[in-house]
Structure 1
Amino acid sequence: MISFIVPAYNEERLLGATLQAINAVVQALDEPCEVIVVDDGSTDRTAEIGREHGAQVVAVAHRQIAATRNAGARVAQGDVFIFVDADTLVHETLVQMARQALRDGAVGGGAVVRFDGAMPLHARLMVQLVVKLLQVSRLAAGCFFFCTRTAFEAVGGFDERYFAAEELGLSRALKRQGRFLILREPVLSSGRKLRTHSAREMWALLGHLMRGGLGAVRQRKGLDLWYAQRREDPHNGV
């Protein structure tokens, strides 16, 4: 069985499309699947939308992405985990490639990330750099991350000491378990955070991460890109 695990916090505007895309993949696959939405203390209709689309909804109150992802894994029944962010659209080819990679002996992996909508120049440059670094380093972005249950449990899941970059730590840990790869088939995620934060804010975040190292992602402070109140996205009003 494949377990699709979707962490979500106040995602009523984008979650529906994400679940529709997952459900379309589920219908096309020739094996059992389940969809789990981990509602991390949302104050909007996130949980209701999850149920409307047939997902199992798990309520937590962490406001910490690693713990939220792990909460979904703990209730999952599958032997394959696919973590999909609530603003990310998967498709059949991508999931079939991930499934085949695991059948061929890989322990996990990710995909090349593409972002929707127009983005300012500073965001485009930063995205190109980060995406290339992830590919070269064979590190998976958190918006689409797949692995076997066995490998995930062997390394203890996502490291809950971290409020960001937890997917990079898990990528490194899984590499020690076996073959870990980045699929060339892209996954589409929302560019809203990149559109709604200025160049000054983005470079300040980069400086914060470079100065603080691992310590910078062991606390929520300074990580506004992920934890601050959501800003209105001019691309689609979210």
Structure 2
Amino acid sequence: MISFIIPAHDEARLIGATLVSIQAAADALGLAHECIVVDDASGDDTAAIARDLGARVVRVEYRHIAATRNAGARAARGQRLFFVDADTQVDVELVRAALRALDAGAVGGGCTVRLHGPLAWHERLAAAAAVAALRLARIAPGCFQFCTRAAFEATGGYDERWFAAEDIVMSRALARVCRFVLLRNAVHTSSRKLHTFSPREHGRLLWHFLRHGRAMLRSRDRLALWYEKRRH
């Protein structure tokens, strides 16, 4: 059993495509699997869409991404856990490569990222630089991370002291357990943060980080890009 865990808050616009992509990849590989959507305080049709597409829905009221991911892991029955963001689409080659890595002894890993939608040249440049920096630092972006249940439990799960960067903390924790891999395969994820938040707002986030350091990641107060009401 492979458990695909999808944290979601007000994701009615995108979660359908995410679940369809997971189902298509799992069916192509003949995998015994489950999809668990952790509906974190959604006020839209996220849960109904997920159920209609065959997912099991777990309702929580955390508004805290690390805690939401952990709730999905607790509900999961599989021994291999795939965490997929609700605005992210996988394909069969990515899932196959992740399973091969686990079969070869890796305890977990991630992949590279491609952004959906049209991007200006400077946005493409910034995205490419971010992806390169994450790979150089051996960090798997949170939109797609996978691991064995044993490794997940060995790390204690996603560190709930963090409201953002929990994917960075988990990548490093898994790497301390044993071999952690970054696949060359890519997921396609939404570029909406680039389109719905202005350069000024991105600059303000950077300024707060330079001023307060990692301490700002322990509260959602200055993390509007992740916790403000979803913009369209």
TM bracket, shorter-chain basis: over 0.9
What's 1:223 paired with? 223
1:190-229 aligned at under 5 Å gives the runs 190-229=190-229
Code of the residue aligned with 1:176 in structure 2: it is R
Match of 2:30 in 1: 30
Deviation at 1:167, TM superposition (A): 0.5
Report the CA distance between 1:211 and its aligned residue.
2.5
Corresponding residue for 2:148? 148
Specify the alignment match of 1:104 in structure 2: 104
| Shift, 1:181, TM fit | 1.3
Alpha-carbon offset, residue 86 of structure 1: 0.4
1:235 matched to which residue of 2?
none
> What SS does the aligned partner of 1:13 have?
coil
| Cα distance, 1:199 vs structure 2 | 1.4
Aligned Cα root-mean-square deviation (Å): 1.1
Q: Read off the aligned partner of 2:214 and give its amino acid letter.
A: L
Deviations 1:151-202 (A, max 9, x none): 0000101001111110000000111011111111111000011111111211
For residues 13-92 of structure 1, the aligned pairs below 5 Å read 13-92=13-92
Distance across 2 between alignment mates of 1:97 and 1:203 = 36
TM-score of the superposition, structure 1-length normalised? 0.95
Please state how far the C-alpha of 1:26 moved relative to its aligned partner: 1.6
Across the two proteins, how many residue pairs are aligned to each other? 232
Aligned twin of 2:169: 169
Fraction of identical pairs, as percent: 55
The residue type paired with residue 225 of structure 2 is L
Per-residue Cα deviation, 1:96-146 (whole angstroms, up to 9, x for no partner):
000100110111111100001112444333212211111111101010001
Instruction: Report the counterpart of residue 123 of structure 2 in structure 1.
Output: 123
Deviations 1:53-94 (A, max 9, x none): 000000000000000000000010111000000000001000
Q: Secondary structure at the match of 1:54?
A: coil
TM-score by length of 2: 0.97
Structure 2: stretches of 5+ with no match in the other structure? none
Stretches of structure 1 lacking an aligned partner (at least 5 in a row): 233-238
Instruction: Please report how far the alpha carbon of residue 31 of structure 1 lies from its aligned counterpart in structure 2 after TM superposition.
Output: 3.1
